[in-house]
Chains A and B, each alone.
Chain A
Amino acid sequence: MTSELDIFVGNTTLIDEDVYRLWLDGYSVSDAVALRVRSGILEQTGATAAVLQSDTMDHYRTFHMLERLLHAPPKLLHQLIFQIPPSRQALLIERYYAFDEAFVREVLGKKLSKGTKKDLDDISTKTGITLKSCRRQFDNFKRVFKVVEEMRGSLVDNIQQHFLLSDRLARDYAAIVFFANNRFETGKKKLQYLSFGDFAFCAELMIQNWTLGAVGEAPTDPDSQMDDMDMDLDKEFLQDLKELKVLVADKDLLDLHKSLVCTALRGKLGVFSEMEANFKNLSRGLVNVAAKLTHNKDVRDLFVDLVEKFVEPCRSDHWPLNDVRLFLNQYSASVHSLDGFRHQALWDRYMGTLRGCLLRLYHD
């Protein structure tokens, strides 16, 4: 007696969250059955392995049919084939687009191309995430990227509208898309200590302040290069950043800046002497990072530079986080008192974001 055909179709589509997770994680039916057996479900329900097998197959088949719809979530809402309560629909979408921290760290900032897709094998072995799951996550990134790539308007809103993701997940995707578009280097050994959350935080700040959309004014000429408002950094802004060089090139200005900062922080900083000794180096580092951003290659190395030029020196001197905060606040605020410096707005736009990023990046 062999089973040729075995199906179960409910008027309301049954969705087992546990099986869905196993499916998303890329387990084969037999692996999934084994895992379910191990979870002790047989003892709880008094079912047999055959029942479990049939149940798992059913769910896998359903998910397989749903997958096509999940690629365009609004379709899932409007399709008529599967009657799924809205809360379940949301769950299906949210889980489908969820990703593994380990995986996203591997591909963050990489070009979402076929070449990268070929490396998924290695990523799978490295992270222990099944290749199937890696592919799904990669394809999700790519799909979202393709859809919102050419769109104007807020990146997060666009993602939310077209993929019906939760606010949090949409923000994460915005970061992924932003990183993929600007190809920020995140894979260097130095950067390994950073989590996806750190990068996502920085990405959000950068999207808010450094992109075309951040200017906040409606573009006068819609045919100009305003199309990718949230995806691309504001080229003009990056060009202007060169002007900041004067802060370190002009020795008087640098000294004045240092004295202003030191006066304000004296007694408040545990690492005052180290700060005082390192001020010029740190300031040079931060300003040079800004000045270099005109080149695409240097943009990509932004995070490497930040860690090399600022995070690592501070860390080697064991600055506590609070001291870093006090320093950065004072460092950016003091510039306003420099009479000879004319690019206050530019400085604020640059330093405001950078300060937030650095504070987030500064940890072990």
Chain B
Amino acid sequence: MPGKLKVKIVAGRHLPVMDRASDLTDAFVEVGARSCPSKHRERQVDDEDLQDEPLQITVLDHDTYSANDAIGKVYIDIDPLLYSEAATVISGWFPIYDTIHGIRGEINVVVKVDLFNDLNRFRQSSCGVKFFCTTSIPKCYRAVIIHGFVEELVVNEDPEYQWIDRIRTPRASNEARQRLISLMSGELQRKIGLKVLEMRGNAVVGYLQCFDLEGESGLVVRAIGTACTLDKLSSPATFLPACSSPSKDMKEIPFNEDPNPNTHSSGPSTPLKNQTYSFSPSKSYSRQSSSSDTDLSLTPKTGMGSGSAGKEGGPFKALLRQQTQSALEQRGGSPHRFCRRREFPFFTLTAFPPGFLVHVGGVVSARSVKLLDRIHNPAFVGIMGNTRSYKLLDWNSFNSDEPETRDAWWAEIRQEIKSHAKALGCHAVVGYSESTSICEEVCILSASGTAAVLNPRFLQDGTVEGCLEQRLEENLPTGCGFCHIPYDELNMPFPAHLTYCYNCRKQKVPDVLFTTIDLPTDATVIGKGCLIQARLCRLKKKAQAEANATAISNLLPFMEYEVHTQLMNKLKLKGMNALFGLRIQITVGENMLMGLASATGVYLAALPTPGGIQIAGKTPNDGSYEQHISHMQKKINDTIAKNKELYEINPPEISEEIIGSPIPEPRQRSRLLRSQSESSDEVTELDLSHGKKDAFVLEIDDTDAMEDVHSLLTDVPPPSGFYSCNTEIMPGINNWTSEIQMFTSVRVIRLSSLNLTNQALNKNFNDLCENLLKSLYFKLRSMIPCCLCHVNFTVSLPEDELIQVTVTAVAITFDKNQALQTTKTHVEKSLQRASTDNEELLQFPLELCSDSLPSHPFPPAKEHLESASSNSGIPAAQRATSVDYSSFADRCSSWIELIKLKAQTIRRGSIKTTVTVEKASPMGEGNFRNRSAPPCANSTVGVVKMTPLSFIPGAKITKYLGIINMFFIRETTSLREEGGVSGFLHAFIAEVFAMVRAHVAALGGNAVVSYIMKQCVFMENPNKNQAQCLINVSGDAVVFVRESDLEVVPTQQPAANCHPSCTEGEVTT
């Protein structure tokens, strides 16, 4: 499916001075999609290439006598233009980025794509499949079918480790790397798209793409997601045709080369897939064998020798197995055509349509330690030697056994996760995610998710119907259904302690519930939630390869166990009984392992009241010791009481008998703990076995335990007016106001002493995290009352004694007065939220007709207001800038067609000439302003919000414009001059934000939702005055409309006329 790419370079500004002698820059631009522009005058660009390749715009400084100097580059991902209904044009100011100097000026670019849709002979591209980072069904869509798990990985050699890197400049090396990664992620996305089409889906939700920088052994780009068939929420045409169509048309018509643009707006209830995709199922089957779909038949726990963590549990496993088998048998009863495809019933979603989630079993996780080996493949080296063409290597295209490893590794892990889920009586895993931690040649692969029983109504095939039916028949009350145990009570896979649900009194529930998903909207919660973190460090001997892997494997089970114990203790201390959004990260370093678990604790009304924490000493005969113990006990009890008050946890008194077992005898208890810590490494298993107790006993028989208790008590609650959680929304707060502030904070500490103990290490790490949180609370104090949502901690160990913690979160303000009432009206509210679907239908017409409004950088009314209020400052600015841009624009306004790959030279006038330009310009002042209004009216840059959440408080998302997935490298050889490591990284992160915002704004969006910084790898060498940093971010570009603005839309309709895209349309025709 070939296409035509049109690129127009409109203007440039703030360019650096490249010629010291004259203080000028002779800037010109090269446009291309490949690093080596082909010499052919006409070249067909397949959309497959369009999908893989980002558009690359290089800004250079012309030098007469020497080679032209590079100023910087702009990479534009043109994927959003390939969906039929996302953005139709990319237009705006892009920062010109250089990997050595950072942002150096900006360039105004307009990009359009014309695809020839009819030439659909070989469907290698996956045009039309939409990608969403959002881990829930995107706001303006409805899920018709949720198909299931899609995954893919692509491997290549890391340019940084190629021989050529020794002779090329750091800039060339960085650019090669940036380019390669963007190519790889493009390819990955295309391949995933193909898989989705095979599954007859039209979208990937919860798309998570990660890079593994394996160093010598290469670069892995892998992605997972959930394939869905989405249907745009019924169109407004039926309700308000007069209002909605003009604004739509205005935007679309100039770009209507596409034969079927936005047909959905006319037919409200037509499913998307019918229109856009036509292919035969048989065809899709033929592609079934593509790349990483390893067959299920392999038995995962055998054969993969290289240091796989000992996963063989003791008697526990036997029980799990039994359960697995029974589940398998059940499933085997209904042979299904699609069985093969749904080998992993995983869902990367964390929030679900109402009714989707039936039961939740608990967290399932698996880890595996692997050794990375360099693969010597002649063919591989042969191709990669040629640096000019980054022909991507799909490992599977090489006929060797080795490249399959990465796939096999993951398949093995997933298989394990699947079997754990089975053991819990669940047929699916939700909130599924995968991660890696690499240090030298050792790699820990981790996967985790929440075992769950889903409602088959949303799934395409009936794989699960058999085991579900009997459950569905029971009429489940809302608000507690998901808590009910999915496993058979009489045939429990593990010793768990069950009670009747405190809500409906019909079903059994466990006494604690750990999950990786967000709190279901219909869940009944008492009080507020809070962020709970478990932090742990363990020293490890430095070792090489195999020995190192073994050492890590041996440590892992203990780490998991301790992290879990800490979580459980802290949860009890908060007086809560469930964890949501649990994310356990184990990081491996040269000489230590770090564990960091974050989750949001809540009190679920359906679960029993948690018991307290009982402290038991080992040597009861010592008097002073006893006293000490009782003192501690008192402190703990006080803390629990205080926390209950703080988080407003006051569950209704239960009159009935509580079926709780008495506190077990300490000795017996300790034995239990020990046996488990030795035999298991699984959160799930521990989780449920711990869940057995009503009251929790801490035996402080060694210093470790002592330390634990201390650390429990040292966690400081956030200052009043602050709440924090790592889930999308804070349980118990519903009345968000519109102010949001997304931020990233990075801290690196150097451990001082060389011979550290575990305790000292733990304390350092704990302090680091606590101080970081305190700092955040202080910085954001002006937003009080507010809540830090989606707090995402990432730990890495870049060097021997360095610990790096990166936090990304969003602070959202809320209305305190209303917040106080939420406890009373809680059930009502949650019911309301469950029925938002209906509301959305009603509000939608209003939203759509205002479609083009938000993309206007500033509501005109406001601008007038501003200029009126201070008739001095702002208008002056407008005048000044219009002079600046148009002088440049005049010189270089010509379309460049990519197909011809013609580099066009544009000379830029010096800034000093602006005054004369104004005079020389044939147009009068008034004319001047009118003309320059649309393309460069952004005299103040339009605000782009960024949030890690899937929504924007107080606003409606009206349109998804495509995925943002960006990878940047920044390097410096003048670290001190740039303000040291802090100055360097601060500037870089600010630049990354700027580039994300610029791309979103160019797409016509005004926000990024589900924003995530997936990687922030920082390396420094202060002695050489050097530092390097790699950052990978992603999110969904969206258009949102303030709810308060929705009412005024009709009056502001004319404003849409001056939207950039409209005028651009005129230019093209």
Neighbouring B residues of A216 by C-beta, 8 Å: none
Task: Give chain B interface residues in 52-110, CB to chain A under 8 Å.
Answer: 93, 95, 103, 106
Report how far A83 CA is from B95 CA in the complex, Å: 14
CB distance from B384 to the nearest CB of A (A): 34
Report how far A294 CA is from B46 CA in the complex, Å: 78
Report how far A167 CA is from B873 CA in the complex, Å: 8
Say whether A214 faces chain B, with CB atoms less than 8 Å apart. no
Report how far A11 CA is from B948 CA in the complex, Å: 12
CB distance from B537 to the nearest CB of A (A): 12
Neighbouring A residues of B998 by C-beta, 8 Å: 80
Report how far A123 CA is from B13 CA in the complex, Å: 39
Residues of B within 8 Å of A, CB-based: how many? Answer: 66
- Whether B872 and A167, one on each chain, are in contact in the complex, defined by CB atoms closer than 8 angstroms, is yes
Say whether B991 faces chain A, with CB atoms less than 8 Å apart. yes
Neighbouring B residues of A9 by C-beta, 8 Å: 743-745, 986, 989-990, 993
Name the interface size band of chain A. Answer: 35 or more
Neighbouring A residues of B747 by C-beta, 8 Å: 3, 5-7
Task: Give chain A interface residues in 265-286, CB to chain B under 8 Å.
Answer: none
- A166 and B873 contact, Cβ closer than 8 Å, known pairs A2-B752, A61-B983: yes
Neighbouring A residues of B1018 by C-beta, 8 Å: 5
Say whether A165 faces chain B, with CB atoms less than 8 Å apart. yes
Task: Give chain B interface residues in 727-756, CB to chain A under 8 Å.
Answer: 741-752
- A81 and B775 contact, Cβ closer than 8 Å, known pairs A10-B743, A74-B880, A166-B872: no
Task: Give chain A interface residues in 150-201, CB to chain B under 8 Å.
Answer: 151, 157, 160-162, 164-167, 170
Neighbouring B residues of A164 by C-beta, 8 Å: 873-874, 876-877
- Whether B13 and A7, one on each chain, are in contact in the complex, defined by CB atoms closer than 8 angstroms, is no
**In the complex, residue of chain A having the shortest beta-carbon distance to the beta carbon of B943:** A83
Report how far A2 CA is from B751 CA in the complex, Å: 7
Neighbouring B residues of A85 by C-beta, 8 Å: 943
Report how far A3 CA is from B877 CA in the complex, Å: 42
Q: Which of A45, A48, A57, A78 contacts B781 (CB 8 A)?
A: A45
- A162 and B944 contact, Cβ closer than 8 Å, known pairs A7-B989, A9-B989: no
Task: Give chain B interface residues in 870-922, CB to chain A under 8 Å.
Answer: 870, 872-874, 876-877, 879-881, 915
- Whether A5 and B764, one on each chain, are in contact in the complex, defined by CB atoms closer than 8 angstroms, is no
Neighbouring B residues of A46 by C-beta, 8 Å: 719
Neighbouring B residues of A83 by C-beta, 8 Å: 941, 943-944, 993-994, 997
- Whether A14 and B779, one on each chain, are in contact in the complex, defined by CB atoms closer than 8 angstroms, is yes
Report how far A2 CA is from B748 CA in the complex, Å: 9
Say whether A77 faces chain B, with CB atoms less than 8 Å apart. yes
Task: Give chain A interface residues in 77-97, CB to chain B under 8 Å.
Answer: 77-83, 85-86, 89-90
Q: Which of A14, A51, A86 contacts B940 (CB 8 A)?
A: A86
Say whether A12 faces chain B, with CB atoms less than 8 Å apart. yes
- Whether A78 and B939, one on each chain, are in contact in the complex, defined by CB atoms closer than 8 angstroms, is yes
- Whether A162 and B880, one on each chain, are in contact in the complex, defined by CB atoms closer than 8 angstroms, is yes
- Whether A8 and B872, one on each chain, are in contact in the complex, defined by CB atoms closer than 8 angstroms, is no
CB distance from A50 to the nearest CB of B (A): 6
- A7 and B774 contact, Cβ closer than 8 Å, known pairs A2-B750, A14-B779, A77-B877: no
**In the complex, residue of chain A having the shortest beta-carbon distance to the beta carbon of B784:** A45
Say whether B279 faces chain A, with CB atoms less than 8 Å apart. no
Say whether B287 faces chain A, with CB atoms less than 8 Å apart. no
**In the complex, residue of chain A having the shortest beta-carbon distance to the beta carbon of B998:** A80
Q: Which of B802, B941, B982, B983 contacts A80 (CB 8 A)?
A: B941
- Whether A55 and B941, one on each chain, are in contact in the complex, defined by CB atoms closer than 8 angstroms, is no
Report how far A79 CA is from B527 CA in the complex, Å: 44
CB distance from B859 to the nearest CB of A (A): 13
Report how far A156 CA is from B939 CA in the complex, Å: 21
Q: Mark A291-319, 1 if CB is under 8 A from B, else 0.
A: 00000000000000000000000000000
- Whether B771 and A50, one on each chain, are in contact in the complex, defined by CB atoms closer than 8 angstroms, is yes
- Whether B983 and A1, one on each chain, are in contact in the complex, defined by CB atoms closer than 8 angstroms, is no
Say whether A217 faces chain B, with CB atoms less than 8 Å apart. no
- Whether A79 and B774, one on each chain, are in contact in the complex, defined by CB atoms closer than 8 angstroms, is no
Q: Which of A77, A79, A161 contacts B879 (CB 8 A)?
A: A161
Q: Which of A58, A74, A75 has the most CB of B within 10 A?
A: A74
Neighbouring B residues of A160 by C-beta, 8 Å: 872-873, 876
CB distance from B994 to the nearest CB of A (A): 4
Task: Give chain A interface residues in 39-68, CB to chain B under 8 Å.
Answer: 45-48, 50-52, 54-55, 57-58, 61-62, 64-65
Task: Give chain A interface residues in 1-36, CB to chain B under 8 Å.
Answer: 1-14
Report how far A10 CA is from B782 CA in the complex, Å: 14
**In the complex, residue of chain A having the shortest beta-carbon distance to the beta carbon of B980:** A5
Q: Which of B775, B778, B881 contacts A74 (CB 8 A)?
A: B881
Say whether B127 faces chain A, with CB atoms less than 8 Å apart. no
- Whether B880 and A4, one on each chain, are in contact in the complex, defined by CB atoms closer than 8 angstroms, is no
- Whether B990 and A5, one on each chain, are in contact in the complex, defined by CB atoms closer than 8 angstroms, is no
- Whether B990 and A65, one on each chain, are in contact in the complex, defined by CB atoms closer than 8 angstroms, is yes
- Whether B990 and A81, one on each chain, are in contact in the complex, defined by CB atoms closer than 8 angstroms, is yes
Task: Give chain B interface residues in 776-809, CB to chain A under 8 Å.
Answer: 776-779, 781, 802, 804
Neighbouring B residues of A1 by C-beta, 8 Å: 749-752, 764, 767-768
Say whether B1050 faces chain A, with CB atoms less than 8 Å apart. no
Neighbouring A residues of B879 by C-beta, 8 Å: 161
- Whether B741 and A5, one on each chain, are in contact in the complex, defined by CB atoms closer than 8 angstroms, is no
- A61 and B985 contact, Cβ closer than 8 Å, known pairs A8-B743, A45-B781, A81-B103: no
CB distance from A326 to the nearest CB of B (A): 36
Neighbouring A residues of B939 by C-beta, 8 Å: 77-78
CB distance from A66 to the nearest CB of B (A): 10
**In the complex, residue of chain A having the shortest beta-carbon distance to the beta carbon of B768:** A1
Report how far A81 CA is from B719 CA in the complex, Å: 31
Say whether B945 faces chain A, with CB atoms less than 8 Å apart. yes
- A4 and B943 contact, Cβ closer than 8 Å, known pairs A45-B719, A51-B775: no
- Whether A7 and B985, one on each chain, are in contact in the complex, defined by CB atoms closer than 8 angstroms, is yes
CB distance from B650 to the nearest CB of A (A): 26
CB distance from B1013 to the nearest CB of A (A): 10
Q: Mark B936-961, 1 if CB is under 8 A from A, else 0.
A: 00111101111000000000000000
Report how far A50 CA is from B998 CA in the complex, Å: 35
- A80 and B778 contact, Cβ closer than 8 Å, known pairs A3-B749, A7-B745, A166-B873: no
- A7 and B746 contact, Cβ closer than 8 Å, known pairs A83-B941, A164-B876, A165-B873: yes
Interface residues of A (CB under 8 A from B): 1-14, 45-48, 50-52, 54-55, 57-58, 61-62, 64-65, 74-75, 77-83, 85-86, 89-90, 151, 157, 160-162, 164-167, 170
Jot down 18 A-B pairs with beta carbons below 8 A, ordered by A.
A2-B750, A5-B985, A7-B747, A9-B743, A9-B990, A11-B997, A14-B741, A14-B779, A55-B778, A57-B982, A74-B880, A78-B14, A80-B103, A83-B941, A83-B994, A86-B866, A165-B872, A166-B872
Question: A7-B745, A166-B873 given. 17 additional CB < 8 A pairs?
Answer: A1-B767, A4-B748, A6-B748, A8-B744, A9-B744, A10-B741, A13-B990, A45-B778, A64-B983, A78-B14, A80-B93, A81-B993, A83-B941, A83-B944, A160-B872, A160-B876, A162-B880
Q: Which 9 A-B pairs have the closest CB atoms?
A: A161-B876, A5-B748, A10-B743, A4-B748, A9-B989, A11-B742, A11-B946, A7-B986, A80-B994
